[in-house]
Structure 1
């Protein structure tokens, strides 16, 4: 019984939805009929006067600051941390020692490699002397030289490991995080030691639309503002413009920003990029809806006021500026372009302007 009641309810709801859709479509058709009726038998259209306007290209975009350099510093040698010389928040310079790993085992390996290399040098000298008197062959001498070279390479590698026992900063920056403590054991597979960031320069990442990105190029100087420091002035330079739009049809832009002497700006803060452009000469602009089909058609219908008919016109388009399109050729100031109703028009169709 419950199943039958459920089915009846579903059917009633479905019929109600169908009735609503049909009623809505009827209302839309009546509106269209009334709109056309206003033209007294002619096709009802809306129009706009062709005029020159000053194009304002200036705009702003908001984004987040990120460090220009950010490094998760990993260990290269295995050993126990013997000393740490910096803490979180410490400023460090390139080459500065941050920590030290116990190098006892590493030193032993280096001493062994040193002894092996010295022994190989002596063997090579003996083989060289014997070769000159005919005691050994050229092949035996070459083998001795190869052994010496291999021993030298092993010694250099062990010396590098001894040097790496002093963990040095590869960049200038700030210790943002410290992951180790004295006594901790680190592995040669890459234990995370420090997170280093350089905020002397940052990058502001913003998104711009297609009409805005067309006016930008790499190297452009951009004014930057921060809501946290409203009285501070910062400047930046565009270093990256995406060649492809993202999922929202916007183009990611990166602006390199120089921090002030106090490094007031922090990574993660919000920033505003102010894009200022030279004053533009007035251009002929018409609504984007004026075009037959789409802007790429390069065709519009004009209103012939002498007999109230439509006339097709070919034009040359320029920039798309929001809801307007720049016209480079084909239109003059004072002419009237049709902005709606083109689907019902042909060349010479009688029209009636609806305000």
Structure 2
């Protein structure tokens, strides 16, 4: 009987020891967990204050250099090219002879036409005299006169064809495309060369419907390009299309003050900044404050040692700053470094 009580007492003591040990372990685990939690939420971050600033809204676009003028040199008559006086890259002036079309056949035709016209003129003089003496009829004189006029018309046509056999440059500039070689046969209207004039420089850019109403003819424009990184060119708006294209864009041309036409070549990409935009107060935050994407932006706002993730609506970007249209107010503080470890409700430690 005594042994039974001893066994029961031993069991009770062992159970008590186990319970105590488990409680002690739980308390230690909870302490470690709390310590770990505290260390996880005290995340070091850097913050910036939302600024209420005056911002000038200038339109910035990417455009392309285009020739000031572009002209096509065409063959006015059909024939074989016998003398080409230009090459690819040649500089030509308006009216300069570019090529000659073989006109030997026309020269022979001209000689025959001139002989025929001379004979008819002589006949007309003779019959006119006979008519004055009633030795010829008025009908005969009129017939010869009509034949003479037709002959002179033919002479003038052949002379013009011979004149057209000399192909001249329709504009001054550089030969950018050469499409013929000596000895080739060309038909009337065939293109033999393209001439581009880059002594003055223009840029072409396409504006959206919203942008085109903010731009006016004569407006100043700043132009930069990667090929001349240390030069800022000046320009003015020269043309704004009154009609949108199929993409709802409006073609706009800018005349550039090009100190040397060799600085730009047609097709070069450029950056344009339309000056004189309206200034207004707006909220700005550093670009680094944006988390996720610029199309779906959000930021972490600081308050009472914690952060809250908030979606915002953004606008223009300028000098590393982003315009905030909605979602923030002036004096709000946003996290600009350390966001990768944050979520709404995380505790933070602001570092400087």
Is TM > 0.5 for Structure 1 vs Structure 2? yes
What's the RMSD between the two structures over aligned residues? 3.3
Cα shift at 1:92: 0.7
Structure 1 portions without partners, runs of 5+ = 1-51, 286-321, 325-337, 340-355
Check conservation: 2:201, 2:261, Cα contact below 8 A: no
Deviation at 1:283? 8.4
- Please list, as runs of the form range in 1=range in 2, the aligned pairs for 1:49-198 lying within 5 A after superposition: 56-188=56-188, 190-198=189-197
Q: How far off is 1:87 after superposition?
A: 1.0
CA distance in 2, matches of 1:83, 1:192: 16
Report the Cα distance in structure 2 between the residues aligned to 1:169 and 1:92, rounded to whole angstroms: 7
Equivalence map 1:1-355=2 (5 Å): 56-188=56-188, 190-277=189-276, 280=279
Under a length normalisation based on structure 1, what TM-score does the superposition of the two structures give? 0.57
- Secondary structure, in 3 states, of the residue corresponding to 1:230? strand
Rounded Cα–Cα distance in structure 2 between residues aligned with 1:145 and 1:219: 61
Aligned-pair distance for 1:174? 1.0
CA distance in 1, matches of 2:133, 2:55: 93
Preserved contact between residue 113 and residue 155 of structure 1 (Cα < 8 Å): yes
1:178/1:209 Cα in 2 relative to 1: closer, same or farther (>3 Å)? closer
TM-score (norm 2): 0.58
Structure with greater Cα Rg: 2
Taking the aligned partners of 1:258 and 1:118, their CA distance within structure 2 comes to 59
Q: CA deviation at 1:250?
A: 3.0
Instruction: Output the CA distance in 2 between the equivalents of 1:232 and 1:137.
Output: 85
CA 120–236 in structure 1, closer or farther in 2 if over 3 Å, else same: farther
CA distance in 2, matches of 1:81, 1:175: 18
> Distance between the aligned counterparts of 2:80 and 2:140, measured in 1?
43
* Separation of aligned partners in 2, 1:69 and 1:146: 47
Give, in whole Å, the separation in 1 of the partners of 2:160 and 2:214: 51
Q: Structure 1 pair 105/237, CA: closer, same or farther in 2 (3 Å)?
A: farther
Contact 1:110 1:162 in 2 (8 A): no
Deviation of 1:54 after TM superposition, in Å, equals: 5.1
Check conservation: 1:224, 1:272, Cα contact below 8 A: yes
Structure with higher strand content: 2
Query: Structure 2 regions of 5+ residues with no counterpart?
Result: 1-51, 284-313, 317-325, 328-352
Residue 88 of structure 1, CA deviation:
0.6
CA displacement at 1:279 relative to structure 2: 6.0
Q: Distance in 2 between matches of 1:147 and 1:236?
A: 62
- Give the conservation status (yes or no) of the 8 Å contact 1:236–1:258: yes
C-alpha distance in 2 between matches for 1:146 and 1:259? 60
Q: Secondary structure at the match of 2:229?
A: coil
Contact 1:83 / 1:100 at 8 angstroms: preserved in 2?
Answer: yes
Bigger Cα displacement from structure 2, 142-151 vs 106-115: 142-151
